[in-house]
Structure 1
Amino acid sequence: MSDDQRRVVIVGAGFGGLSAAKTLARAGVPITLIDKRNHHLFQPLLYQVATAMLSPAEIAVPIRSVLSPGKGRAIEIMMQEVGDIDTDRKIVHCVGGDEIPYSALIVATGSKYTYFGHEDEWASFAPALKSIDDAVNIRRRVLLAFERAETTNDPALRERLMTFVVIGGGPTGVETAGALAELAKATLARDFTNIDPRAARVVLVEAVGGLLGAYPKHLGAYTERKLTDLGVEVLTNSPVKKIDEEGVMAGETFIATSNVFWCAGVEATPVGKWLGVGTEKNGTVSVGADLQVPGLPGVYVIGDAATAHDADGKRLPALAPVAKQQGKYVAESIIRARQGRSPQGPFRYRDWGTMATIGRSAAVGKFGRFELTGFPAWMMWGAVHIAYLVGFRNRINVLVNWLWAWITYAKGARLITGPEAATTQSIDSRKAIDEELDKTVANVQQ
């Protein structure tokens, strides 16, 4: 068989896809990796780009530099977007018209945020945080809000501009709210003349009764106390009913704001539609114990796009360690089959625990029966995230930036970049503020 006939196609260069690609490449298996972006992104630190702690280049690395295909290696990397998959003919159809044949297929396209049926109404006012573009756009919104508050003479408008609402009490929402509070109350505290950034209001909204629902309740309560100490207002039992240019209706509370950020609820990318199979309510595809799609031999779905279960029948969480371990497992299964060896046993996830940072020197972690909070948890959280970053240079840069920020409270990526069109109506829809933009940008503090 030719390389094309034996080629393994991997869709998605996240944790799972990259883990599979590395394992297969080391064994000399011909692979094609397809991703609509040219970089692997460390999503757990996206919120730090959005809140001006890190620059985009410090949490992303070009896929080609990770795999280094080079000449003579059976690795092909394609910056394409998948439109459909013909499982009968074993062909991946790309949006641009290319057709990529495969002998085995690994789909690791992750997830996207869902607005629970309100995308058309809410998405333009409450951007989500899933890509570098999202993070840079949110950073722009946040910093421009302070700049506009500095130049307006309308007290009500200034209050709206300096009110930030984060929707979703999971790890991303908690981390984003804590980072926004630190940015306003420490980093920017002495940077303005007409406003006091420490007066900024940061509100975290959660639909149910506590934060960090996947953690024990006492860790969620600890997180809420720590956020309150940082100056974050926490609203629980407050499902979002409306978002528009005026603000947010959370439960029975209306919050007038120009800055809303969505960190609630995710659903899988349209993998089920591509493969022609049914999905769970959140769009994930159910897979067997070997991570293959039932009825589609040689087709694997891993990571956030899959519904997989552990030995006790409990659903595996949508975490980077799960995706990485699944990617390696699937790659080894393919290698064993090609070598004529016996199949592996069922996939077994090794749970190393989960962690979430709250703010400066505070985090929570759960490692089986062992729990950790406060500064020790924060130190461990930092060490784990440094270890998971791809690239030695990125690890050093992030470590240095974190140490500098911890010592000085300074954040070094406070740049307002991008075209003016990137500033959407959710910052403020009033004509007067739009007219102030040109003057503001001319005097912007970077």
Structure 2
Amino acid sequence: MENVENERLKKSSKTYYGWIVLAITFVTLLVSAGIRSMPSILMLPLEKEFGWSRGGISGVVSVGIFLYGLVGPFSAALLLRYGIRRMMTVALVVLGASLAITPSMTALWQFQLLWGLVAGLGTGMMANVLGVTVANQWFEKRRGLVVGILTASAATGQLLFMPLLAKITADAGWRYSIYTAVAVIAVLIVVVSLWMRNHPHDLGLAPYGSDQVVPPSPFRGNLFLTPLRVLGEAAKEKTFWLLAGTFFFCGFSTNGLIGTHLIPACGDIGITTVVAAGFLALMGLFDLVGTTLSGWLTDRFDSRWLLFWYYGLRGLSLVFLPQALHMGYTEMMIFTVFYGLDWIATVPPTVKISSNVFGKTKSGMVFGWIVVAHQIGASVAAYGAGAMRDWLGSYTVPFMSAGFVCFFAALMAVRIARTTSANPTTTASV
């Protein structure tokens, strides 16, 4: 039955089917990222309704961010073993169930269970590793651009979701924003089940840019032990530690800090949640441009120097942020545009370096471990910034500190050895 459906899709599509797979993956990552960022909208309403502290709510976000990253390497193995479509469907069902129960919670530990644990694991299955796997399976050429587009979808989720959900929360209450997200997930489950495909070979196609129709390499090994073994091999390379280190600071300065705390920081000085969500949405718009452009640049220029400039410019914007918050809307708009262009532009060059050093077969799992470092940094920032806000009464120190660690990350990036092809000692079959 599935073979008949595959033939129908192949014949009915006038464009290369990989672009349809790209579009479905883009929307899935977009929705997942939008939902992952919802706690920043919920923070003030939950604080008001239940009396939970800023630090306590930040702790839930911190755990969710950490698990979101930790599941990445194992997600790469699961995607290779069971297929992209099946694992996307399972992850969406788990995430939808977690959200559907959330409006009934009454205690902080329940919020921790639903959003820290279950939602963290569910969205982790639909993180950057998914985008890297799709790009590697379906595209031989334009891979940097494809990774850039799929990476940009993470911030674009804020573009479509944050203002809408913030408006619903302000007008009808936070529970109705949850119901809206559940409805979107239900539609997406149907789309993925009907039209997503695992590999071009399923439709008798070659990867884009290639003329060879070959089946996917079968995953061999233990789903739990193989990612750990890949980590052990990658850890022998200096490049892995430099990429993981820069990505730690990347997470520290993006979703852990700005994604979690910009709305509460704006609320501290009287900027409404809807307006603050608008700033994040605008960042998502400019990130779509910036990260897609970064993918294009990655296909053409030295990834190490791209990372140097990305981290350095991000550092400048974060050092400027405390002043922008108190100066007015014009200055905040300048920060929003400048920072948004650089939000996660670091992913395409990081993925390219990882693929060159560790090979196409292992790059998904290796990049998954690099993302773990990213999410550890984000987790530290999510909790640390909330705790420092409770202690110091403002976000000035966390924002300034993040700016300076970005300068350090820029220096780390230029220490990465220049590579042009996969290291033959690390590309053996998994």
- TM-score class, shorter-chain normalisation, is under 0.3
Q: Which has the higher contact order (CA 8 A, sep 6+)?
A: 2
Taking structure 2 as the reference length, what is the TM-score of the superposition?
A: 0.26
Larger of the two Rg values belongs to structure: 1
When you count strand as a share of all residues, which structure comes out higher? Answer: 1
Taking structure 1 as the reference length, what is the TM-score of the superposition?
A: 0.25
